[in-house]
Chains A and B, each alone.
Chain A
Amino acid sequence: MTTPQIVALAGNPNVGKSTLFNALTGARQHVGNWPGKTVEKVEGLITIGDRQYKVVDLPGTYSLNAYSSEEIIARDFIINEHPAAVVTVVDAANLERTLYLAVQIMELGVPAVLALNMADMAQRRGIRVNTALLAERLGGLPIVETIGSRGAGLNALRQAIYTQTNGTGRTLPQPVDYGQPLEAEIAALQAQIAADPILSRQFRPRWLATKLLENDEDLHARLEGAGYHPLIEAAHAAMERIAAQTGEDAETLITDRRYQMIAKWLRGAVQRPRSGVETRSDRADRVVTHPIWGVPIFLLLMWVIFQFTANVSAPLVDWIDATINGPFTRWAEALLNALSLAETWFGALVINGVIAGVGGVLVFIPVLFFLYLAVAVLEDSGYMARSAFVMDRVMRAIGLHGKSFLPLVVGFGCNVPAIYATRTLEDEDDRKLTAFITTFISCGARLPVYVVFGAAFFGAKAGNLIFGLYLLGIAIALLTGLALKRTVYRHKPPQPFVLELPPYRLPTPRNVWRQVWQRTAQFLRNATTIILAASIVIWFMLALPVRGEGRFNDVRTEDSLFGAVSRTIAPAFEPAGFASWETAGSLITGFVAKEAVISTMSQIYVQTADDAEVAGAEESQPAPRFADEAQELLRSLGEALVLTAQETVNIVPRTVNLLPGVHLGLADWLNRGEEAEETTALQDALIAAFTRTTGSAERGKLAAVAFNVFVLLYVPCMATVAAMRHEFGGRWVLYQSSYALLVAWLAATIVYQGGLLLGIG
């Protein structure tokens, strides 16, 4: 089969473009990012008749003016990739406004198809479009009525694409008539462009002439850079003549003229009931975007999302964790045994490096699944736009965008979904700024560290330490945000707040599911490599002896490369009071996952006891049979699903309990035996160790606080790093991690030294 022809799908945000794209391409899709951008790129393959097409979903834009990265992507794609046809998706109920983009695409001179989408909603509101008349006025352009959510009109759309990509049968769109004096100036510039062989090959001369008169900054800069100074001069002279003749600047005239043309085309072709009536969405907005009620409604929804990512996902996370560490590891061991590799270093690498690493990725699936589910529902329903509206004032006061709130809230559960939640922000700089500060929000994995230390050093007052650490994280995040606004983003003009509020809609399960699935799968593809690599590196460090009589894969932690590295970096923590190789080492594994700080410490400090316990537990039982194990796996999955449902139901009492003086019991369908954690041995060891390092019990306590501050702030865990690298690139991650490390060190040092100055210890 020949290479597929390219068909681009363009349209405003909120016209149901992605839904139509999904309906058109079905399951054969590829999701990625546009090169060098944080904007999602989705492609799908379709076959129409005897031809194959690659359909590319362009980012949703209102125009092709190159003011945002989305607009530049859409425009460059059409200019550089020469798609065989561009389908412009417009809202059948909002033709006057959504045709504005369609006009600009037609001006590019590519074969076009117009899809009047959401035709059902237009019809329900009494809007009648005479497509035949409209098509005739647009010079025979194919116009198709579609309902993306129900897959209606797809055959007609396919037929139109087929016709428009057929060399002889296609209709090219009519140019817009800009009237005098614009047309004369366009013609003059056009001639100048057409005379240049390079320019006229790259651009359609009439389009370029119009864009130059429109004072398009991006094109002016590009042409100026490529040495087309005379052409730019000519354009400026033409703009001045137009302004002198008409008293208006050329770009305003061009914009006005496009809207006038649209109005002319639509006159008589669209019948609609008198507008100005209050719609159902308006009525809902009177409550949802109310200056007072809007905020509690928003906070409530954020709380529910947080519950989903933190509590509802927890049973499945535990199940995956238990499955990987239990049956799956045992099966792998059995397999390695059969191959007589179990006792070799390779066997240990597979079990402790690879499987543990893969497990570290898989546990994020439920978390991301529930985040994406909540985000997709909020986005599809139209609420996400309102959230920016409601929070704009509050967040602007601290230099952030209204939509920055969601990632920060999600960050309390886990920073990984928080990084991905920044995708709801349109502006790339806003996204980067939000992601940058998100890692200071204390995630759920850091809590076990605070709990163990709090219990060891503060006993009943552990709550104060924990609460203080959470507050510190929030404060550092906000201060960092303000500092970045004043420095890195100082020259960025304040983004004007303009936002379309789409009508409220019921999200379609198919669409929501597809988004959730695509995004979760994308995380897996991108995070697996880095997490696996880091796990293997740490395993090697632990297995490699550098002193003593240990052999490879049989060495005390202290004598391994890991121990050596820990000892090397330990002195750096001298000013913060916790300069021992044990603490330094636990911080290294803490990069794999923050809760690993505790498991490493218990391994190092109470190694002997721990080893004996594990060994005893393993050997006292005969290895379970495969069938029993598989059955048990299903049973525990069922249990996890029941618990997930239970946690979902529990959102209601948990939410009601937020009201002062109310206490509802939580649903408890399955009795989960609370694991009584044997931490006392570790706690005693911690107190002893910190006292030993610092010289006194009081100082040890201070160093413990400093250590917790460091754990809160230092480099986010590697899954977060993987997410950030995927979204913003390696260099950016390096900046963020270096900054976080520096802030953590400074804060821990200030706590310890400040405490000493205040006379503690």
Chain B
Amino acid sequence: MPIMHRSHRQHRGKHAAAPQPLLPLSMVEAGQTVELVSIGECRRLRKRLADLGLNVGLNVRVVQNSFAGPLILAVREDARLAIGRGMAQRILVRLPLSTNGHEE
């Protein structure tokens, strides 16, 4: 969490107009909390992820990302989801403006 705060201070106060850069989930380091912005084009995949608790607009914390193989995410409170790297590359996320990673 502390890393996140530092990188975001510069954006604060500029209102929401300053767009946060989007990046694939696969690039997010362990320990960071990010907001899901888009989950690929595949309907089935979107629905499957939503069933497991991952939908657009949600904040998730990356628990493990070894930059090879699947990632582990903390989703909705305390659940841990492993997702394949290929999928994580297609999921776009944004580092949230808010310092409170758990606001809806």
Contact = CB atoms under 8 A, between A and B. Distances in A.
A385 B79 CA distance: 13
Nearest to B33: A276
A696 B5 CA distance: 82
B26 interface: no
Instruction: Specify which of A63, A276, A281, A290 lies most central, judged by the most chain B CB atoms within 10 Å of its CB.
Output: A276
Instruction: Specify which of A62, A97, A498 lies most central, judged by the most chain B CB atoms within 10 Å of its CB.
Output: A498
Interface string A26-65: 0000000000000000000000000000000000001101
B66 to A, nearest CB: 4
A95 B33 CA distance: 21
A496 B72 contact: no
Interface string A249-292: 00110011001100100000000100110110110011001110
B18 interface: no
Contacts of A499: 70, 81-83
A498 B79 contact: no
A291 B43 contact: no
B31 to A, nearest CB: 9
Contacts of B43: 215, 251
Contact of A500 (B66, B77, B81, B86): B81
Interface in A221-273: 251-252, 255-256, 259-260, 263, 272
Given A67-B48, A497-B83, A498-B49, A94 B77 contact: yes
Interface string A387-414: 0010011000000000000000000000
Contacts of B75: 97
A227 B31 CA distance: 53
B38 to A, nearest CB: 11
Contacts of B52: 62, 97, 498, 500
The main secondary structure of chain B at its interface with chain A is: mixed
Interface in B6-35: 33
A100 interface: yes
Contacts of A278: 63
B57 A97 contact: no
Contacts of B78: 93-94, 125, 275, 279, 503
A497 B87 contact: yes
A96 interface: yes
Nearest to B102: A275
Contact of B53 (A100, A385, A392): A100
Interface in A290-312: 290-291
A501 interface: yes
Contact of A263 (B45, B51, B70, B104): B104
B80 to A, nearest CB: 4
B48 A496 contact: yes
B47 A67 contact: yes
A627 B76 CA distance: 66
Contact of B80 (A63, A286, A496, A501): A501
Contact of B66 (A65, A291, A385, A497): A291
Contacts of B82: 289, 385, 389, 497-501
B84 A65 contact: no
A65 B47 CA distance: 9
Interface in A99-118: 100
A418 to B, nearest CB: 25
A500 B49 contact: no
A93 B80 CA distance: 12
Contacts of A385: 82
Interface residues of B, number: 40
Contacts of A289: 64, 72, 82
Instruction: Specify which of A259, A281, A389, A496 lies most central, judged by the most chain B CB atoms within 10 Å of its CB.
Output: A496
A65 B56 contact: no
Interface string A652-694: 0000000000000000000000000000000000000000000
A310 B18 CA distance: 64
A503 B102 CA distance: 21
A94 B74 CA distance: 11
Contacts of B83: 496-499
Contacts of A252: 46, 50, 55-56
B70 A282 contact: no
Contacts of B53: 96-97, 100
Interface string A475-503: 00000000000000000010011111111
Contacts of B66: 290-291
Contacts of A285: 63-64, 72, 80
A100 B86 CA distance: 26
Nearest to A248: B56
A393 B51 contact: no
B101 interface: yes
A297 to B, nearest CB: 14
Interface in B52-104: 52-53, 55-57, 61, 63-64, 66, 68-70, 72, 74-84, 86-87, 101-102, 104
B33 to A, nearest CB: 7
Contacts of B70: 389, 392, 497, 499
B77 A276 contact: no
Contacts of B47: 65, 67, 251, 255
Contacts of A290: 66
A498 B55 contact: no
B84 A276 contact: no
A759 B92 CA distance: 63
B76 A96 contact: yes
Given A97-B79, A279-B78, A393-B69, A259 B55 contact: yes
19 contacts: A65-B51, A94-B77, A97-B75, A251-B47, A252-B46, A255-B47, A255-B50, A260-B104, A275-B102, A281-B80, A282-B63, A282-B80, A286-B64, A493-B44, A497-B70, A498-B49, A498-B83, A499-B81, A501-B82
6 residue pairs, one from A and one from B, having the closest CB atoms: A497-B84, A63-B51, A97-B53, A501-B80, A62-B51, A291-B66
Given A282-B64, A286-B64, 9 more contacts: A67-B44, A93-B78, A97-B77, A252-B55, A275-B74, A275-B77, A289-B64, A289-B82, A501-B82
Interface of A: 62-63, 65, 67, 93-97, 100, 125, 215, 251-252, 255-256, 259-260, 263, 272, 275-276, 278-279, 281-282, 285-286, 289-291, 385, 389, 392-393, 493, 496-503
Interface of B: 1, 33, 43-53, 55-57, 61, 63-64, 66, 68-70, 72, 74-84, 86-87, 101-102, 104
